[in-house]
Amino acid sequence: MLISRTTAGTLIAGLLVLAGSPLAFAQAPAPPTAARKFEIIDNSFLVEEAFNQEAGVFQNIFVWTRDSEGVWGATFTQEWPAPRLAHQFSYTLPFAGDETTGGIGDVLLNYRYQLLAEAAGRPAIAPRMSVILRTGRPASLGHGVTGLQINVPLSKQIGDVYLHANVGWTWLPGVALDAGTTVNLTSPQVAGSAIWRVAPMLNLMLEAVAMFENAESDALAVVDSAEARRVIGLLTEQYALRRYSEELDRRRRELSGE
C-alpha cells in the first residue's frame, strides 16, 4: 500500500515505517505521551479512517496485491476536500487480472461528510456514500449494474493506540447470472483495526474485515453435488409452483379413477 500527500512531500509506504531514514534520525523526537497526537494519522490499510482531507490538501492511495497463482488486484484512490474539511470527494479506480489478461473494474465515486471531529470523550465520525459505476472491462471484472455503497467509519486515539471501526453496506440490484436470471446482491460489512505507536514514525497494526453477501432472487441454484457445489441450473419459483400444481392434479385424478 502506498499513500502520498501534497504537504511537505510526505511519503508513507509498506508498514508505515520511516524510522530508519536519515531524516528520522536527524533529531531525537520526544517520546510519545498519552496526550500527544499521532504523527501518522492515515495509519490503517484495510479499515477506513474517519478523517477528511484538510483544505488545500489531496491524498493518493495505491494498493496492489498478487496471489500465488498470478491473480492480481490493485486500486487507486484520490481524495479531495470539497472545498474544506467538512466535505470530501474521492474516486476509486479498481484494476484486476492475471498473467494473460487484465482490465478495470467498477469505478466508485465517493462523498464523505465529517459528521464529528475527534475530541475528548468522543470519536471522529465521517459517513461515506459511494456510487458504483458499471465500468468493468472486460465485463467479467464488473457486476454490470450501477450500485450503492455506504460506510460509517469511527476513529479514536487512546494513548499510544488508535482504534478504527467501520460498519457498511453494499447494494447491487439486478446482477445477471449465467442462466439468464438476475439477483439483487447485498453485502453488509464490518471492520476494525488497532494501531499501536511504537515510535513516532513506527506503527504496528492489527486489522480485521468481515463481509457477508446475500442474494435476493426468485430462483434457487441447483448444484451437482454437496462437495463440488458446481451450479448446473436454476429452479425458479414459477417452475416449482407449476410442477406442484401438476402433481396435485395427477394425484387427484388417480384417486378419482380418471
Which residues, including other chains, have CB under 8 Å from residue 166's CB and lie 6 or more apart? 47, 48, 151, 152, 153, 154, 189, 190, 191, 192
Average pLDDT for residues 183-210, to the nearest whole number?
93
Q: Distance between CA 170 and CA 147 in Å, rounded?
A: 8
Mean of the pLDDT values across residues 79-106?
93
Domain coverage including residue 210: 2-217
231 lies in the same domain as 178 = no
Residue with grid cell 460498519, as numbered in its chain:
167
Q: Are residues 17 and 128 located together in one domain of the fold?
A: yes
In this prediction, residues 77-89 reach a mean pLDDT of: 95
Kindly state whether residues 124 and 55 are assigned to the same domain: yes
pLDDT band at 252 (very low <50, low <70, confident <90, very high): confident
Q: Are residues 52 and 77 in the same domain?
A: yes
Say yes or no: 81 and 207 in one domain: yes
pLDDT for 149-177, tens place per residue? 999 999 999 999 999 999 999 999 988 87
Say if residue 131 is in the same domain as residue 206.
yes
Sign of torsion over alpha carbons 57, 19, 202, 211: positive
Reported confidence tier of residue 10, pLDDT bands at 50, 70, 90: very low
Q: Which long-range contacts (CB under 8 A, 24 or more apart) does 30-34 make?
A: 32/160, 32/197, 32/199, 32/200, 34/159, 34/160
Residue type, 162: Y
The alpha carbon of 147 is separated from its chain's Cα centroid by a whole number of angstroms, namely 13
* Residues 165, 198 share a domain: yes
Same domain, residue pair 53 and 173: yes
Cα–Cα separations (whole angstroms), residue 72 to 66, 108, 210: 4, 19, 21
If one counts the domains in the chain, the total is: 2
Q: Backbone phi, then psi, for 248, in 5-degree steps?
A: -60, -40
CA distances from 98 to 67, 69, 137, 205 (A): 10, 8, 14, 29
| Res. 253 pLDDT band, cuts 50 70 90 | confident
User: Do 54 and 20 sit in the same domain of this protein?
Assistant: yes
Residues 205 and 227 occupy one common structural domain: no
Q: Greater confidence, 179 or 186?
A: 186
Distance CA 139, CA 123 (A): 41
- Give the ranges where the chain is alpha helix by DSSP (H): 237-256
Q: What is the mean pLDDT of residues 44-55?
A: 92
Dist. CA 156–CA 89, nearest whole Å: 23
pLDDT tens for 114-153 read: 999 999 999 999 999 999 999 999 888 888 999 999 999 9
Length of the chain: 258
DSSP state of 231: E
Q: Is the pLDDT of residue 16 over 50?
A: no
Decide which of 107 and 29 is more confident: 107
229 and 136, same domain (yes or no): no
Residues 251 and 168 in one domain: no
Read off the C-alpha cell for 104: 478495470
Q: Is the pLDDT of residue 226 over 90?
A: no
